[in-house]
Structure 1
């Protein structure tokens, strides 16, 4: 990977996304199946042999069997509701973390200040709509501007080496990035630049999935705006 400093060009990198599928309600399935069951029973009655009709006890057995299944589904829903109430309305950790277990080891994209520990920081710097030029601004934990770099229009991902124009390494600490977008040399937008950081840990806290990044930063999983496989 080519690192950049105050006088070096940025490096473009790639990203990937993830998808998820919605779940289906058990109650809706039972309701649909019950309607189908009634239709089948009606057809069965209409087409039975009048000389050898189906015994009424058979109908009772079929109804009892289906009713038992329906009651089991309703009981499960009731137990789930009671579990939630007894836990103070907070979901169990296993439920909270469902879908997040595969995040460990991935790179999260967040619009947050990050800890610089001497390793290059991968930044996604998007131009504002209608902008024809932009600059990446680097600030320290106090919000003081340290550096700014001209961005190429075809570059959306860049890597900040942590070195200034003289080649000296900036001290370790928290840094933030923002993109200033221009149209005909006039500033039209300033917005946070998102950064990539490895996810080291996922846990549940007060019904919310929490993340710990490789730089030690902790945040809600809801603050993640993108994921990708680690870039080698």
Structure 2
């Protein structure tokens, strides 16, 4: 479910839609076909068995029905993730989502949502590349809210284009009391349906399941 954020367009997934009559009919047809084929094999005359070509045709039909049933199952997953409507899923394309997965950084700043431990008296933003290697540390103070991350090192030089993710270290009296992943906003380029549900593909590469997205806002 996508949660609301201050100053951003809110999108809350609707409750999962029940299976459609079409999906139910496909499932029934699949089970009926399987029972008919099993009964035919059990009762065929051993002195006059089914021709190999006829059996091959029936197996091909069986495979087609099975594939259709699997396709319908994936469609149900997609409809559930998108709140019951393919149109709603399409509306995600071009919008920005907040994720803790690695996101692309190029010519434009990234918007980060900073939420340190409330007990912290100092906060450090740690930037890591896609491989998990630390590339930058910045003291940002104990404030909470959205910031524009410019991706500049200590010399003021821009970091190389690539995918990065972020962690904040909350400190109190010089000791780290918590480490938390930071949500970053990235634009959605496309959506795909897989075995785990709807996967959102980000501009510049990288992805996350729709169920893992924390927030959604209109594209800029």
How high is the TM-score relative to the length of structure 1?
Answer: 0.62
**Given the superposition, is the C-alpha separation of residues 194 and 24 from structure 1 closer, same or farther in structure 2, using an over 3 Å criterion?**
closer
SS in 1 for 2:91: helix
- Measured on the aligned residues, the alpha-carbon RMSD in Å equals 3.1
Match of 2:193 among 204, 213, 221: 204
SS in 1 for 2:216: strand
2:73 is aligned with 1:91: yes
Map 1:17-36; keep pairs closer than 5 Å.
17-22=10-15
Indicate conservation of the 8 Å contact 1:119/1:161, yes or no.
Answer: yes
2:101 is aligned with 1:112: yes
SS in 2 for 1:100: helix
C-alpha displacement at 1:203, in angstroms? Answer: 2.4
**Long gaps (5+) in structure 2:** 1-5, 32-65, 80-84
C-alpha displacement at 1:103, in angstroms? Answer: 0.8
**Given the superposition, is the C-alpha separation of residues 143 and 23 from structure 1 closer, same or farther in structure 2, using an over 3 Å criterion?**
closer
Partner residue, 1:51: none
SS in 1 for 2:191: strand
**Long gaps (5+) in structure 1:** 1-12, 27-72
Q: State the 4+ residue runs in structure 1 displaced beyond 4 angstroms.
A: 23-26, 75-78
Write the deviation string for residues 102-161 of structure 1: whole angstroms up to 9, x where unpaired.
111211111111222232111112112432331111123343332222224333211111
Partner residue, 1:190: 179
Counterpart-to-counterpart distance in 2, 1:80 and 1:174: 42
Partner residue, 2:150: 161
How high is the TM-score relative to the length of structure 2?
Answer: 0.65
